[in-house]
Structure 1
Protein backbone atom coordinates (compact mmCIF):
# COMPACT_ATOMS: atom_id res chain seq x y z
CA UNK A 1 0.00 0.00 0.00
CA UNK A 2 1.18 3.53 -0.75
CA UNK A 3 -0.58 6.88 -0.56
CA UNK A 4 -0.71 8.91 -3.75
CA UNK A 5 -0.40 12.20 -1.89
CA UNK A 6 1.04 13.30 1.46
CA UNK A 7 -0.02 16.68 2.79
CA UNK A 8 2.57 18.03 5.24
CA UNK A 9 0.75 20.57 7.42
CA UNK A 10 2.46 22.87 9.90
CA UNK A 11 0.60 23.77 13.08
CA UNK A 12 -0.99 27.17 13.63
CA UNK A 13 0.64 30.03 15.47
CA UNK A 14 1.60 29.94 19.17
CA UNK A 15 2.56 32.80 21.47
CA UNK A 16 6.19 31.67 21.21
CA UNK A 17 6.01 31.76 17.41
CA UNK A 18 4.80 35.33 17.63
CA UNK A 19 7.63 36.19 20.04
CA UNK A 20 10.30 34.40 17.99
CA UNK A 21 11.15 31.89 20.73
CA UNK A 22 12.61 28.43 20.20
CA UNK A 23 9.90 25.88 20.97
CA UNK A 24 11.55 22.60 20.09
CA UNK A 25 9.70 19.80 21.84
CA UNK A 26 8.18 22.01 24.55
CA UNK A 27 4.39 21.66 24.51
CA UNK A 28 3.33 25.22 23.67
CA UNK A 29 -0.37 25.67 22.88
CA UNK A 30 -1.92 27.43 19.90
CA UNK A 31 -2.86 31.05 20.47
CA UNK A 32 -6.24 32.40 19.24
CA UNK A 33 -4.74 33.41 15.89
CA UNK A 34 -3.28 29.91 15.51
CA UNK A 35 -6.67 28.32 16.09
CA UNK A 36 -8.23 30.59 13.47
CA UNK A 37 -5.43 29.67 11.04
CA UNK A 38 -5.97 25.95 11.68
CA UNK A 39 -9.73 26.23 11.09
CA UNK A 40 -9.25 28.15 7.84
CA UNK A 41 -6.65 25.71 6.53
CA UNK A 42 -8.80 22.73 7.53
CA UNK A 43 -11.52 23.87 5.12
CA UNK A 44 -9.04 23.82 2.23
CA UNK A 45 -7.36 20.56 3.22
CA UNK A 46 -10.68 18.78 3.75
CA UNK A 47 -11.40 19.41 0.06
CA UNK A 48 -8.46 17.12 -0.76
CA UNK A 49 -10.51 14.25 0.75
CA UNK A 50 -7.90 12.80 3.09
CA UNK A 51 -8.17 9.19 4.20
CA UNK A 52 -5.95 9.61 7.28
CA UNK A 53 -4.73 12.33 9.64
CA UNK A 54 -1.49 11.66 11.50
CA UNK A 55 -0.07 14.19 13.93
CA UNK A 56 2.81 14.97 16.21
CA UNK A 57 1.78 14.45 19.82
CA UNK A 58 2.62 18.05 20.77
CA UNK A 59 -0.63 19.93 21.40
CA UNK A 60 -0.02 22.75 18.91
CA UNK A 61 0.08 20.10 16.16
CA UNK A 62 -2.62 17.77 17.47
CA UNK A 63 -5.03 20.66 18.11
CA UNK A 64 -4.42 21.82 14.53
CA UNK A 65 -5.09 18.27 13.32
CA UNK A 66 -8.37 18.06 15.22
CA UNK A 67 -9.73 21.04 13.29
CA UNK A 68 -9.49 18.84 10.18
CA UNK A 69 -10.81 15.79 12.02
CA UNK A 70 -13.97 17.68 12.95
CA UNK A 71 -14.57 18.51 9.29
CA UNK A 72 -13.87 15.04 7.91
CA UNK A 73 -15.04 12.63 10.61
CA UNK A 74 -11.56 11.08 10.72
CA UNK A 75 -9.66 10.35 13.91
CA UNK A 76 -6.24 11.84 14.60
CA UNK A 77 -3.51 9.22 14.79
CA UNK A 78 -0.53 10.19 16.95
CA UNK A 79 3.06 9.80 15.71
CA UNK A 80 5.73 11.16 18.12
CA UNK A 81 8.41 11.01 15.40
CA UNK A 82 6.71 14.03 13.81
CA UNK A 83 7.79 16.25 16.72
CA UNK A 84 9.87 19.37 16.11
CA UNK A 85 13.66 19.38 16.43
CA UNK A 86 14.86 18.93 20.01
CA UNK A 87 16.58 22.19 20.99
CA UNK A 88 17.61 21.03 24.44
CA UNK A 89 18.21 23.87 26.89
CA UNK A 90 17.60 26.53 24.24
CA UNK A 91 13.83 26.14 24.79
CA UNK A 92 12.21 29.54 25.24
CA UNK A 93 15.20 31.52 23.95
CA UNK A 94 15.07 33.92 21.02
CA UNK A 95 17.42 33.81 18.03
CA UNK A 96 19.22 36.90 19.32
CA UNK A 97 19.81 35.23 22.68
CA UNK A 98 21.06 32.02 21.10
CA UNK A 99 23.29 33.85 18.62
CA UNK A 100 24.80 36.00 21.35
CA UNK A 101 25.62 32.95 23.45
CA UNK A 102 26.73 30.75 20.52
CA UNK A 103 28.24 32.84 17.70
CA UNK A 104 29.59 29.73 15.95
CA UNK A 105 26.05 28.41 15.64
CA UNK A 106 24.92 31.72 14.15
CA UNK A 107 27.67 31.53 11.52
CA UNK A 108 26.81 27.92 10.67
CA UNK A 109 23.12 28.72 10.35
CA UNK A 110 23.69 31.65 8.00
CA UNK A 111 26.01 29.54 5.83
CA UNK A 112 23.53 26.68 5.57
CA UNK A 113 25.68 24.33 7.65
CA UNK A 114 24.11 21.98 10.13
CA UNK A 115 24.77 22.25 13.86
CA UNK A 116 23.45 20.79 17.08
CA UNK A 117 20.78 22.85 18.83
CA UNK A 118 22.45 23.03 22.26
CA UNK A 119 24.59 20.34 23.83
CA UNK A 120 21.51 18.25 24.62
CA UNK A 121 19.53 18.82 21.41
CA UNK A 122 19.46 17.39 17.88
CA UNK A 123 21.13 18.48 14.69
CA UNK A 124 18.90 19.55 11.83
CA UNK A 125 19.81 16.41 9.91
CA UNK A 126 18.83 14.18 12.83
CA UNK A 127 15.44 15.84 13.15
CA UNK A 128 14.83 15.80 9.40
CA UNK A 129 15.77 12.13 9.09
CA UNK A 130 13.44 11.22 11.96
CA UNK A 131 10.49 13.02 10.37
CA UNK A 132 11.32 11.74 6.87
CA UNK A 133 11.29 8.18 8.20
CA UNK A 134 7.90 8.83 9.79
CA UNK A 135 6.48 10.26 6.54
CA UNK A 136 7.77 7.27 4.57
CA UNK A 137 6.12 4.87 7.02
CA UNK A 138 2.87 6.85 6.99
CA UNK A 139 2.76 6.89 3.18
CA UNK A 140 3.57 3.19 2.87
CA UNK A 141 0.95 2.15 5.43
CA UNK A 142 -1.87 4.13 3.79
CA UNK A 143 -4.34 2.82 1.20
CA UNK A 144 -3.19 2.85 -2.41
CA UNK A 145 -4.08 6.09 -4.14
CA UNK A 146 -5.16 7.84 -0.96
CA UNK A 147 -4.34 11.25 0.48
CA UNK A 148 -2.87 11.36 3.99
CA UNK A 149 -2.29 14.47 6.10
CA UNK A 150 0.74 14.62 8.40
CA UNK A 151 0.64 17.46 10.92
CA UNK A 152 3.94 18.60 12.35
CA UNK A 153 6.37 21.45 12.82
CA UNK A 154 8.04 23.98 10.57
CA UNK A 155 11.74 23.21 10.70
CA UNK A 156 11.61 19.43 11.02
CA UNK A 157 9.00 19.10 8.25
CA UNK A 158 11.01 21.33 5.92
CA UNK A 159 14.23 19.34 6.35
CA UNK A 160 12.32 16.07 6.03
CA UNK A 161 10.86 17.22 2.71
CA UNK A 162 14.33 18.17 1.47
CA UNK A 163 15.59 14.68 2.30
CA UNK A 164 12.60 12.95 0.69
CA UNK A 165 13.24 14.96 -2.48
CA UNK A 166 16.73 13.45 -2.60
CA UNK A 167 18.47 16.72 -1.71
CA UNK A 168 21.03 17.44 0.99
CA UNK A 169 20.56 19.45 4.16
CA UNK A 170 21.74 22.81 2.78
CA UNK A 171 18.78 22.89 0.36
CA UNK A 172 16.40 23.60 3.26
CA UNK A 173 17.40 27.26 2.94
CA UNK A 174 16.41 27.22 -0.71
CA UNK A 175 12.88 26.16 0.18
CA UNK A 176 12.52 28.78 2.89
CA UNK A 177 10.60 28.51 6.13
CA UNK A 178 7.11 27.09 6.42
CA UNK A 179 4.45 29.57 7.53
CA UNK A 180 2.13 28.76 10.40
CA UNK A 181 -0.77 26.55 9.30
CA UNK A 182 0.67 26.21 5.80
CA UNK A 183 0.51 22.92 3.97
CA UNK A 184 2.70 21.38 1.29
CA UNK A 185 1.75 18.54 -1.02
CA UNK A 186 4.13 15.72 -1.89
CA UNK A 187 3.85 12.73 -4.16
CA UNK A 188 5.52 9.67 -2.63
CA UNK A 189 7.98 7.71 -4.75
CA UNK A 190 9.97 5.38 -2.54
CA UNK A 191 12.92 7.39 -1.26
CA UNK A 192 12.70 10.01 -4.01
CA UNK A 193 9.52 12.04 -3.73
CA UNK A 194 8.10 14.88 -5.81
CA UNK A 195 7.08 18.26 -4.41
CA UNK A 196 3.72 19.24 -5.93
CA UNK A 197 3.12 22.49 -4.01
CA UNK A 198 4.77 24.27 -1.10
CA UNK A 199 3.73 26.63 1.70
CA UNK A 200 0.05 26.96 0.77
CA UNK A 201 -2.06 29.10 3.11
CA UNK A 202 -5.77 29.73 3.40
CA UNK A 203 -7.12 33.12 2.35
CA UNK A 204 -7.02 35.55 5.23
CA UNK A 205 -4.93 33.25 7.44
Structure 2
Protein backbone atom coordinates (compact mmCIF):
# COMPACT_ATOMS: atom_id res chain seq x y z
CA UNK A 1 0.00 0.00 0.00
CA UNK A 2 1.06 3.59 -0.55
CA UNK A 3 -0.12 6.93 0.73
CA UNK A 4 -2.82 8.74 -1.21
CA UNK A 5 -4.01 12.34 -1.37
CA UNK A 6 -7.48 13.48 -2.39
CA UNK A 7 -7.45 17.14 -3.45
CA UNK A 8 -11.03 18.34 -3.07
CA UNK A 9 -12.22 21.72 -4.30
CA UNK A 10 -14.85 23.58 -2.26
CA UNK A 11 -18.52 23.80 -3.19
CA UNK A 12 -20.13 26.56 -5.22
CA UNK A 13 -20.36 30.17 -4.05
CA UNK A 14 -22.31 33.14 -5.38
CA UNK A 15 -19.07 34.61 -6.70
CA UNK A 16 -18.43 31.42 -8.66
CA UNK A 17 -21.81 31.87 -10.32
CA UNK A 18 -21.04 35.54 -11.04
CA UNK A 19 -17.52 34.67 -12.30
CA UNK A 20 -15.83 36.94 -9.76
CA UNK A 21 -12.25 36.44 -8.62
CA UNK A 22 -12.49 35.31 -4.99
CA UNK A 23 -8.84 34.90 -3.97
CA UNK A 24 -8.39 35.44 -0.24
CA UNK A 25 -11.82 37.06 0.14
CA UNK A 26 -13.92 34.89 2.46
CA UNK A 27 -17.05 34.06 0.47
CA UNK A 28 -19.42 31.40 1.93
CA UNK A 29 -20.95 28.46 0.13
CA UNK A 30 -24.32 29.12 -1.45
CA UNK A 31 -27.24 26.70 -1.18
CA UNK A 32 -25.98 24.65 -4.11
CA UNK A 33 -22.49 24.57 -2.62
CA UNK A 34 -23.79 23.20 0.69
CA UNK A 35 -25.58 20.40 -1.18
CA UNK A 36 -22.45 19.69 -3.23
CA UNK A 37 -20.37 19.44 -0.06
CA UNK A 38 -22.80 16.94 1.46
CA UNK A 39 -22.79 14.82 -1.70
CA UNK A 40 -19.01 14.75 -2.03
CA UNK A 41 -18.71 13.89 1.67
CA UNK A 42 -20.95 10.85 1.26
CA UNK A 43 -18.87 9.63 -1.69
CA UNK A 44 -15.42 10.31 -0.25
CA UNK A 45 -16.26 8.78 3.13
CA UNK A 46 -16.27 5.40 1.38
CA UNK A 47 -12.52 5.82 0.77
CA UNK A 48 -11.98 5.88 4.55
CA UNK A 49 -9.79 8.97 4.82
CA UNK A 50 -7.40 9.13 7.76
CA UNK A 51 -6.84 12.89 7.91
CA UNK A 52 -8.65 16.01 6.65
CA UNK A 53 -6.86 19.34 6.18
CA UNK A 54 -8.52 22.50 4.90
CA UNK A 55 -7.90 26.05 3.84
CA UNK A 56 -9.01 28.53 6.49
CA UNK A 57 -11.45 30.24 4.12
CA UNK A 58 -15.04 29.32 4.96
CA UNK A 59 -16.01 27.97 1.54
CA UNK A 60 -13.30 25.30 1.84
CA UNK A 61 -13.59 24.82 5.59
CA UNK A 62 -17.35 24.24 5.48
CA UNK A 63 -16.85 21.74 2.64
CA UNK A 64 -14.28 19.94 4.79
CA UNK A 65 -16.57 19.98 7.83
CA UNK A 66 -19.23 18.14 5.83
CA UNK A 67 -16.75 15.31 5.29
CA UNK A 68 -15.66 15.49 8.90
CA UNK A 69 -19.23 15.01 10.10
CA UNK A 70 -19.67 11.87 7.99
CA UNK A 71 -16.30 10.31 8.85
CA UNK A 72 -16.01 11.48 12.45
CA UNK A 73 -12.60 13.00 11.69
CA UNK A 74 -11.54 16.45 12.90
CA UNK A 75 -10.66 19.10 10.33
CA UNK A 76 -7.25 20.71 10.62
CA UNK A 77 -6.97 24.25 9.22
CA UNK A 78 -3.95 25.51 7.29
CA UNK A 79 -3.97 29.01 5.79
CA UNK A 80 -1.20 27.94 3.40
CA UNK A 81 -3.94 26.10 1.47
CA UNK A 82 -5.73 29.35 0.63
CA UNK A 83 -6.63 30.28 -2.93
CA UNK A 84 -4.29 32.33 -5.10
CA UNK A 85 -4.21 35.90 -3.81
CA UNK A 86 -5.92 38.10 -6.40
CA UNK A 87 -4.68 41.53 -5.33
CA UNK A 88 -6.69 44.22 -7.13
CA UNK A 89 -8.75 41.62 -8.98
CA UNK A 90 -10.58 40.24 -5.97
CA UNK A 91 -14.32 40.77 -6.29
CA UNK A 92 -14.12 41.67 -9.98
CA UNK A 93 -15.55 39.76 -12.94
CA UNK A 94 -13.33 38.50 -15.76
CA UNK A 95 -14.77 41.11 -18.13
CA UNK A 96 -13.77 43.96 -15.81
CA UNK A 97 -10.30 42.52 -15.21
CA UNK A 98 -9.69 42.15 -18.95
CA UNK A 99 -10.91 45.69 -19.67
CA UNK A 100 -8.90 47.44 -16.93
CA UNK A 101 -5.70 45.38 -17.12
CA UNK A 102 -5.50 43.89 -20.65
CA UNK A 103 -1.79 43.02 -20.50
CA UNK A 104 -1.94 41.59 -17.00
CA UNK A 105 -5.10 39.64 -17.85
CA UNK A 106 -3.50 38.18 -20.98
CA UNK A 107 -0.64 36.91 -18.78
CA UNK A 108 -3.11 36.23 -15.95
CA UNK A 109 -0.91 37.94 -13.38
CA UNK A 110 -3.15 39.86 -10.94
CA UNK A 111 -1.76 43.27 -9.89
CA UNK A 112 -0.76 43.00 -6.25
CA UNK A 113 -1.54 39.29 -6.22
CA UNK A 114 0.44 36.07 -6.20
CA UNK A 115 2.25 34.53 -9.15
CA UNK A 116 1.57 30.97 -10.26
CA UNK A 117 4.98 29.87 -9.02
CA UNK A 118 4.37 31.39 -5.59
CA UNK A 119 1.05 29.58 -5.26
CA UNK A 120 2.44 26.27 -6.53
CA UNK A 121 5.32 26.45 -4.06
CA UNK A 122 3.11 27.43 -1.11
CA UNK A 123 0.38 24.86 -1.66
CA UNK A 124 2.62 21.93 -2.60
CA UNK A 125 4.77 22.51 0.48
CA UNK A 126 1.65 22.39 2.67
CA UNK A 127 0.33 19.23 0.99
CA UNK A 128 3.66 17.41 1.32
CA UNK A 129 4.03 18.52 4.93
CA UNK A 130 0.65 17.10 5.92
CA UNK A 131 1.01 13.84 4.00
CA UNK A 132 4.04 13.05 6.13
CA UNK A 133 1.69 12.82 9.12
CA UNK A 134 -0.31 9.88 7.80
CA UNK A 135 0.60 6.18 7.75
CA UNK A 136 2.03 4.49 4.67
CA UNK A 137 -1.42 3.22 3.68
CA UNK A 138 -3.26 6.39 4.74
CA UNK A 139 -5.47 8.77 2.80
CA UNK A 140 -5.13 12.53 3.26
CA UNK A 141 -7.98 14.75 2.08
CA UNK A 142 -6.90 18.32 1.26
CA UNK A 143 -9.84 20.71 0.85
CA UNK A 144 -8.85 23.88 -0.96
CA UNK A 145 -9.52 25.94 -4.08
CA UNK A 146 -9.45 25.60 -7.85
CA UNK A 147 -6.26 27.43 -8.82
CA UNK A 148 -4.48 26.57 -5.57
CA UNK A 149 -5.07 22.84 -5.99
CA UNK A 150 -4.23 22.68 -9.68
CA UNK A 151 -0.97 24.57 -9.18
CA UNK A 152 -0.11 22.69 -6.00
CA UNK A 153 -0.66 19.32 -7.68
CA UNK A 154 1.50 20.30 -10.64
CA UNK A 155 4.34 21.06 -8.24
CA UNK A 156 3.84 17.85 -6.24
CA UNK A 157 3.90 15.87 -9.49
CA UNK A 158 7.08 17.62 -10.56
CA UNK A 159 5.80 18.77 -13.94
CA UNK A 160 7.99 21.43 -15.56
CA UNK A 161 6.46 24.88 -15.98
CA UNK A 162 6.11 24.49 -19.75
CA UNK A 163 3.71 21.59 -19.18
CA UNK A 164 1.50 23.25 -16.57
CA UNK A 165 -1.15 23.86 -19.21
CA UNK A 166 -1.74 20.11 -19.59
CA UNK A 167 -3.73 19.72 -16.35
CA UNK A 168 -7.27 21.08 -16.56
CA UNK A 169 -9.29 22.83 -13.89
CA UNK A 170 -11.42 21.44 -11.05
CA UNK A 171 -15.18 21.84 -10.81
CA UNK A 172 -16.88 22.72 -7.53
CA UNK A 173 -16.68 19.76 -5.13
CA UNK A 174 -14.76 17.68 -7.65
CA UNK A 175 -11.48 16.10 -6.67
CA UNK A 176 -8.21 14.64 -7.90
CA UNK A 177 -6.35 11.65 -6.48
CA UNK A 178 -2.57 11.52 -6.11
CA UNK A 179 -0.85 8.22 -5.37
CA UNK A 180 2.64 7.72 -4.03
CA UNK A 181 4.74 5.21 -5.95
CA UNK A 182 8.34 4.07 -5.92
CA UNK A 183 9.29 6.89 -8.30
CA UNK A 184 7.27 9.61 -6.59
CA UNK A 185 3.75 10.96 -6.89
CA UNK A 186 1.46 10.21 -9.82
CA UNK A 187 -2.01 11.40 -10.83
CA UNK A 188 -4.55 8.62 -10.40
CA UNK A 189 -7.74 10.57 -11.07
CA UNK A 190 -8.57 14.17 -12.01
CA UNK A 191 -11.71 16.32 -11.72
CA UNK A 192 -13.74 13.32 -10.55
CA UNK A 193 -17.03 13.12 -8.69
CA UNK A 194 -19.57 14.16 -11.29
CA UNK A 195 -20.23 14.07 -14.99
CA UNK A 196 -18.25 16.82 -16.78
CA UNK A 197 -19.60 20.24 -15.83
CA UNK A 198 -18.66 23.87 -16.54
CA UNK A 199 -15.75 25.11 -14.40
CA UNK A 200 -15.67 28.59 -12.85
CA UNK A 201 -12.76 29.42 -10.55
CA UNK A 202 -9.90 31.86 -9.91
CA UNK A 203 -7.75 29.96 -12.39
CA UNK A 204 -6.64 31.05 -15.86
CA UNK A 205 -9.42 31.47 -18.46
CA UNK A 206 -8.29 28.38 -20.40
CA UNK A 207 -9.02 26.26 -17.31
CA UNK A 208 -12.57 27.57 -17.04
CA UNK A 209 -15.74 27.19 -19.06
CA UNK A 210 -18.83 29.20 -18.25
CA UNK A 211 -20.93 27.07 -20.55
CA UNK A 212 -20.98 29.64 -23.37
CA UNK A 213 -17.89 28.47 -25.25
Pairwise CA RMSD: 2.0
Unaligned runs of at least 5 residues, structure 2: 198-213
Question: In the TM superposition, what is the alpha-carbon distance from 1:29 to its structure 2 partner?
Answer: 0.1
Which whole-Å deviations, capped at 9, do the CAs of 1:27-61 have from their partners, x for residues lacking one? 00000000111111111110110011000000000
Distance, in Å, in 2 between the alignment partners of 1:130 and 1:165 is 14
State the partner residue of 1:173.
165
Q: How many residues align?
A: 197
Specify the SS of the correspondent of 1:188.
strand
- 140, 146, 154: which one aligns with 2:146: 154
State the partner residue of 2:176.
184
State the partner residue of 2:186.
194
Specify the SS of the correspondent of 2:47.
coil
State the partner residue of 1:140.
132
Change beyond 3 A, Cα 1:190–1:63: farther
Question: In the TM superposition, what is the alpha-carbon distance from 1:202 to its structure 2 partner?
Answer: 4.1
Q: Under a length normalisation based on structure 2, what TM-score does the superposition of the two structures give?
A: 0.87
Change beyond 3 A, Cα 1:146–1:164: same
Distance, in Å, in 2 between the alignment partners of 1:91 and 1:23 is 5
Q: Under a length normalisation based on structure 1, what TM-score does the superposition of the two structures give?
A: 0.90
State the partner residue of 1:78.
77
